[in-house]
Amino acid sequence: MRDEGLVTSDEPFVNLLTQGMVIADTYYREDASGKKTWFNPADVELRDGVATCKTDGAPVVVGGTEKMSKSKNNGVDPQALIDLYGADTARLFTMFAAPPEQSLEWSDAGVEGAHRFLRRLWKAGHEHLQAGAVAAYAGGELSDAAKNLRRQLHQTIQKVSDDIERRKQFNTAIAAVMELMNALAKLEGDDATTCSVRQEVLEAAAALLAPMVPHIAEALYAELRPGAVMIWPTVDASALVQDEIELMLQVNGKLRGQIRVAANADKAHIEAAALASESVQKYLEGQPPKKVVVVPGRLVNIVV
């Protein structure tokens, strides 16, 4: 590239990310001379731990998991997956199953799971649009549930942006959007403000997933915002502000419950709330604690 004048430096890349291997089950038969004939997993049926060839019904030997290769005949034809599920499902599973630098164990069940998630995403958008198109949330009084969802939304935008751009961890980025969609499914209400929050979440989810599943993301975004160009969502810092926070309660280092306190509560208030909790009271047995350790923003550990 340097010699051709395409770059001016000796090394145009700042780092190398070496992807892990894709591994899958292997199956074979051995003839009298010891030569192995390998069978593709798609041609093998597993039942009660016994593997048989679908063609002749005769048993085959389970050879364990190996990296996909022609020699072991354990590769998967991407076109077959695309024909059955679509390209986005194949992309989503591959990027969700493992971090890019680690080995990926192929799983037909995992592919089906990725497909189910994309169907849920599309269904959520379709059901929302049936009530009529609305603009994404731009301000106004929110219910506690809607406020919590917006906080999770903008935490997700923050996390996915970092996971993709800096950490190159696509699996955790996808997982964060999945959690966001689970939270969206629990949001109730069809008033204008709640619908606008739902719109904001769906628009952002489509954009955040676009690097992994570009086809469904673009189609969904076009339905949500006809004629608009998809842009990467930005974090609304005001949505991240919390009035209350949840702290884990530990007694002698073991988790015993949770408490909610004001986000700006001081140490004395947190200690008092923790000691007043029913889940702590039964371990105190009327005696004062030996020690109370407050880890700001995370937990309270009470030593009895």
- Mean pLDDT computed over 290-296: 93
**Quick one: angle between helices 214-224 and 87-96, nearest 10?**
110
Give domain 244-303's CATH architecture: Roll (3.10)
The reported pLDDT for the residue numbered 244 is 87
Cβ contact 261:244 at 8 Å:
yes
Q: Which fold has domain 110-239?
A: Isoleucyl-tRNA Synthetase; Domain 1 (1.10.730)
* Residue 12 scores a pLDDT above 80: no
Give domain 1-75's CATH architecture: Single Sheet (2.20)
Instruction: Express each pLDDT in 94-141 by its tens digit.
Output: 999 999 999 999 998 999 999 999 999 999 999 999 988 899 999 999
- Mean pLDDT computed over 81-90: 95
Angle at CA of residue 289, ends 284 and 291, nearest 5°: 145
Measure the CA–CA gap between 271 and 220, rounded to whole angstroms: 48
* Residue 173 scores a pLDDT above 90: yes
| Structure tokens belonging to residue 124 | 């959520």
The reported pLDDT for the residue numbered 259 is 94
Measure the CA–CA gap between 300 and 286, rounded to whole angstroms: 19
CA dihedral (64, 66, 70, 75) positive or negative:
positive
Sequence-distant (≥ 6) Cβ neighbours of residue 225 within 8 angstroms = 203
The reported pLDDT for the residue numbered 7 is 87
Cβ contact 239:151 at 8 Å:
yes
Cβ contact 108:116 at 8 Å:
no
Confidence of residue 159 (pLDDT cuts 50, 70, 90): very high
Domain ranges of the chain: 1-75, 110-239, 244-303
The distance from CA 62 to its chain's CA centroid, rounded to whole angstroms, is 32
Least confident of 3-7, 55-59, 82-86: 3-7
